[in-house]
Amino acid sequence: MAARVVAHVMELLMSLVRTMCSSKADLAFEVLALRQQLAVYKRKNPRPHIDPLDKLFWSVLKDQFAGWIGALVIVKPETVVAWQKKRFQDFWARKSKPGRPCIPRQHIAFIRRISSDHPDYGEDRIALELEIKFGIKHSDATVRKYMVKSGRPRTNPLTWRTFLKNQAQAIWTCDFVVQHTVRFTALYVFVVMQLDTRKVVHVNVTRLRRTHSPSGSETQGATAWQAEHPSQAWVQQQIRDATFDGSPKFLIHDNDGMFGQLGKPVAREVNGKKVSCRSAFDAWLAGTMGIRGIPTPYGAPNAQAHVERFVGTLRRELLDRILVWNEGQLRAAVAEYVRWVNAGRVHQGIHGIPDPDPELAAPKPANGKLVARPVLNGLHHDYRAVAA
């Protein structure tokens, strides 16, 4: 477009120079020839095409040449006046275009930095990150406008919603995650999470250990083994460790065989009330710990959605991105990830951080800059605002 404008202007300048150098007689004959051709051109059907550059030329010439009406042939003078009015209207329409003002460039840089580092972050999570850690409040729509990718909203099942909402402060939930090492050894990550704050109150790692069974089938030429870890006794010890500072009223778990399924419910008395237990683990919880175990209903995979969501996040953000060599390495990596989850990672479900770092409660600097603290050697980042 710019090259076309320059060429058009140069053509007009060359015509002006050639006209100034011509004699009056030659100029008169040239004007006569042009007018005759224009008279013929007026009889052409359809009408000639007029592009924006032609409109701009006549709008400017109208203010500079008093005899422009006499020299105008291809359109009516009213049309040129309408062109000029339209240009004036378009100019002020662009000036007064409605809409929200742009957010500061620094905020746009923050959004693009976070979304480029982690394309899986949704706009609600990035908006929450900016609000809690930087004191910057923008709507999800505004964040979505400047981020790399947008997430999809997720819904929770309605069957558990009322119960979980009313008893969230008294509910813990637990689950196992299986991770294989590079030598194909199975490791088990046991996670216990508090429902209302999404805080991971306990996490531990163990590997599958097997012991020789004395009642095996050696007579058939095979050796019988039974699993030692993770066993029901190991899980019970993890619950003891998790409830050292306080215990919940309910503990939700799945129907894994290691919880000792009883086949039919067994009644146990908890705080003077009889409670139906479907597994030996629930009976131990009720009789020893005073906690009511709630196995997930059969055929209801979303009944334990909160801890399953954390398990999925743990896989996507950690386990699927590292090579695990041994039990100690996995335990150290999971422990560091859980520390970041509890103290520095924002959660859309609670619109905040489970157990925020006290540093985040300090007043935010007015014109702070973004600092990215590496988590797990840069696999993730803990974003903070510091004085510039």
- Per residue in 103-126, pLDDT (tens digit) is 888 999 999 899 888 887 888 899
Instruction: Say what the pLDDT of residue 203 is.
Output: 94
Average pLDDT, the chain: 80
Question: Is residue 306 pLDDT above 80, yes or no?
Answer: yes
- Cβ(387)–Cβ(365) below 8 Å: yes
Instruction: Say what the pLDDT of residue 223 is.
Output: 44
Which residues, in sequence order, are bridge partners of residue 266?
277
- Cβ(236)–Cβ(284) below 8 Å: yes
Question: Is residue 24 pLDDT above 90, yes or no?
Answer: no
| Mean of pLDDT values over 73-97 | 79
Q: Of 225-239, 311-325, 361-375, give the lowest mean pLDDT range.
A: 225-239
Q: Of 14-23, 240-249, 303-312, give the lowest mean pLDDT range.
A: 14-23
270: confidence class by pLDDT, cuts 50, 70, 90: low
Which amino acid is located at 85 in the chain?
K
Q: Of 103, 53, 109, 62, which Cα lies nearest the Cα of 82?
A: 62
Question: Is residue 286 pLDDT above 60, yes or no?
Answer: yes
The pLDDT tens digits for 150-176 are: 445 444 444 567 777 788 888 999 999
Buried b (16+ CB within 10 A) or exposed e, 290-325: ebbbbbbeeeeeebbbbbbbbbeebeebbbeeeebe
Question: Is residue 67 pLDDT above 60, yes or no?
Answer: yes
193: confidence class by pLDDT, cuts 50, 70, 90: very high
Question: Is residue 337 pLDDT above 60, yes or no?
Answer: yes
Question: Is residue 195 pLDDT above 50, yes or no?
Answer: yes
Instruction: Pick 358 or 67 by higher pLDDT.
Output: 358
Please give the Cα distance from 79 to 40 (Å, whole number): 21
16: confidence class by pLDDT, cuts 50, 70, 90: low
Please give the Cα distance from 193 to 314 (Å, whole number): 13
- Cβ(310)–Cβ(176) below 8 Å: no
**Residue holding tokens 């422009």?**
68
Phi, psi of 203 (to 5 degrees): -150, 140
Q: Of 14-28, 64-78, 325-339, give the lowest mean pLDDT range.
A: 14-28
Q: At what angle do helices 123-134 and 105-117 cross, to 10 degrees?
A: 120
Question: Is residue 291 pLDDT above 80, yes or no?
Answer: yes
Instruction: Say what the pLDDT of residue 304 is.
Output: 84
| Mean of pLDDT values over 181-190 | 91
SS3 assignment, position 234: helix
Please give the Cα distance from 204 to 70 (Å, whole number): 93
Please give the Cα distance from 376 to 224 (Å, whole number): 41
Q: Of 51-60, 278-287, 302-311, 378-387, give the lowest mean pLDDT range.
A: 51-60
220: confidence class by pLDDT, cuts 50, 70, 90: very low
43: confidence class by pLDDT, cuts 50, 70, 90: low
Instruction: Pick 66 or 332 by higher pLDDT.
Output: 332
| Mean of pLDDT values over 93-103 | 73
Task: Give the chain's domains with CATH numbers.
Answer: 2-95 (no CATH), 105-152+357-387 (no CATH), 161-207+225-343 (3.30.420.10)
Q: Of 86-100, 178-192, 232-246, give the lowest mean pLDDT range.
A: 86-100
Question: Is residue 211 pLDDT above 80, yes or no?
Answer: no
